[in-house]
Amino acid sequence: MERRNFVKNTMALGALLSVPGPFSTRLFAARLPSEITDFTASELSVAIRTKQVSCLEVMQAYLSRINRYNPVYNAIISRVSDRELLKQAQDADHALVKNEYWGWMHGMPHAVKDLAPVKDMVYTQGSPMFAKRIAEEDSAIVAKIRNQGAIFIGKTNTPEFGLGSQTYNPVFGATGSAYDPKLTAGGSSGGGACGLGTRMLPVADGGDMMGSLRNPAAFNNVIGFRPSTTVVMEEGDAEDRLLWTSGPMGRNTRDTIQLLNTMALNPVFYDLKPMNLKDVKMGWMGNLGNYLAMEPGIIELCDAALAKVEDAGGKVEAMQSSFRPSDLWECWTILRHHRRLSMLDYYEDPLTRDLLKPELIWEIEQGLNFNDNDVERANRIRANWYVELESLFDKFDFLVLPTAQVFPFPNNIHWPKQINGREMDTYHRWMEVVILGSLGGLPVVNVPVGFDAQGRPMGMQVMGKFGDDKKVLEFALAYEQITNHLSVRPKLVAADD
């Protein structure tokens, strides 16, 4: 098939689809990249549907890229055989010939984070206890993705049981950042974020409790969106918000929105447009008045990004909440560690205890130290935080923080022991910057802010009021128009280099 020169114009996608068939197809074809794996997920979806590319061509292109780079980056694990995937791609093409269109992901390769089961695929959760477990059925979200026509090519790597923002485990090893495979991809959705950054995946699903969609997105220069906790999850409500939620990641915001609509309980994120940034009010929380240790250079990158927002007419005000950050940390650790008691059976069984990572054993032991009064106190703090957030969002459209307190670090280090000379007293203290959004159950998007002198990527969290998911995503669409960070691609290292 002849490839046209690529003229990047994702914003024109909706307009093209509204034009009569042949004309729409001709205009769209003129905007296709020269390499299939460079298509955004939205572009790829239309290209398949309009038969500008075949599903077989798509699968061949992705498998070629995965075979070349995945041995170095280790993003995609438990892979399905190339032969079987090519057969499935041919089946998807035959369906199109018969006018059977499965959904916007028709024939697109997809890998699910290895914390979710995919029927008949290995499902380890990064634990040696389950290294050979085969899932008997799809999770609810996986079933939704399957129903949109995706072809599952494998799983994406994750830390053991998703714990820690560094993607490594004893079953598959560590995943590298797309910008330097010797550095961590973050976590726990590190495999998915690296798969996006290396162009080995069109979109990626994940989950977020303590920044697991945000941190890896920052470390791989992609978009990660933690929705309000009632958007995707079937548990909880506006008053009793979950601490975690599933959510999407994408190479850009449009792709992220596409996958969000697939995952959402009520898909309503259509026709979103970049907001007018004039007079948008943003509360810049920085390092919480020096409460948080930050690696040098992070604040400066965020400041430069926010200056772009101001140039577009937005209002950025440095501010601090009157809420004590130490109270939020106390609340967080009680609720988080108490949840680990759900894994007490593994801890008490000597046959499985030795298979648990030390950090998980520590969390379970911390959870055993808390009683019902402690949990009640933590829930009171959280309820007061909800009230404080309501007050802050009366003054600001968005609250903004750096996405991480450190740049990507070597992936042979389990976690940073100190930041800028300050000792980290727990294995997860270095991720404390994300708990403000997590405790609020808020919609939070990671948007890129650029790179340090070593080429390491960073992002910032833009948090909206609970339930204001559309508004947060519309900001991200506008932010993409005034920055070019997403266009800075990594120089990849191939397996045969």
Residue 358 falls within a domain, yes or no?
Answer: no
Query: Distance between CA 280 and CA 459 in Å, rounded?
Result: 20
Residue 25 falls within a domain, yes or no?
Answer: no
Q: How far is CA 149 from CA 37, 74, 92, 110, 134, in A?
A: 18, 25, 8, 10, 22
Q: Compute the C-alpha angle 491/166/150, nearest 5°.
A: 70
- Rounded to two decimals, the pTM is 0.94
Would you state the pLDDT for residue 497? 82
CATH number of the CATH domain containing 402: 3.90.1300.10
Query: Distance between CA 473 and CA 344 in Å, rounded?
Result: 39
Q: Specify whether the backbone of 94 is left (phi greater than 0), alpha (psi in -120 to 50) or beta.
A: alpha
Query: Distance between CA 215 and CA 458 in Å, rounded?
Result: 9
Q: Tokens for 239?
A: 């008053």
Residue 496 falls within a domain, yes or no?
Answer: no
Q: Whole domain around residue 453: which residue ranges?
A: 35-319+396-487
| Tens-digit pLDDT string for the chain (497 aa) | 333 333 233 333 443 443 334 445 666 666 667 799 999 999 999 999 999 999 999 999 999 999 999 999 999 999 999 999 999 999 999 999 999 999 999 999 999 999 999 999 999 999 999 999 999 999 999 999 999 999 999 999 999 999 999 999 999 999 999 999 999 999 999 999 999 999 999 999 999 999 999 999 999 999 999 999 999 999 999 999 999 999 999 999 999 999 999 999 999 999 999 999 999 999 999 999 999 999 999 999 999 999 999 999 999 999 999 999 999 999 999 999 999 999 999 999 999 999 999 999 999 999 999 999 999 999 999 999 999 999 999 999 999 999 999 999 999 999 999 999 999 999 999 999 999 999 999 999 999 999 999 999 999 999 999 999 999 999 999 999 999 999 999 999 999 88
Domain count, the chain: 1
147 Cβ contact list (under 8 Å, min separation 6): 102, 103
Question: Can you say whether the dihedral through the CA atoms of 211, 216, 221, 223 is positive or negative?
Answer: negative
Residue 382 falls within a domain, yes or no?
Answer: no
Residue 477 falls within a domain, yes or no?
Answer: yes
Residue 435 falls within a domain, yes or no?
Answer: yes
Residue 73 falls within a domain, yes or no?
Answer: yes
Would you state the pLDDT for residue 276? 98
Residue 349 falls within a domain, yes or no?
Answer: no
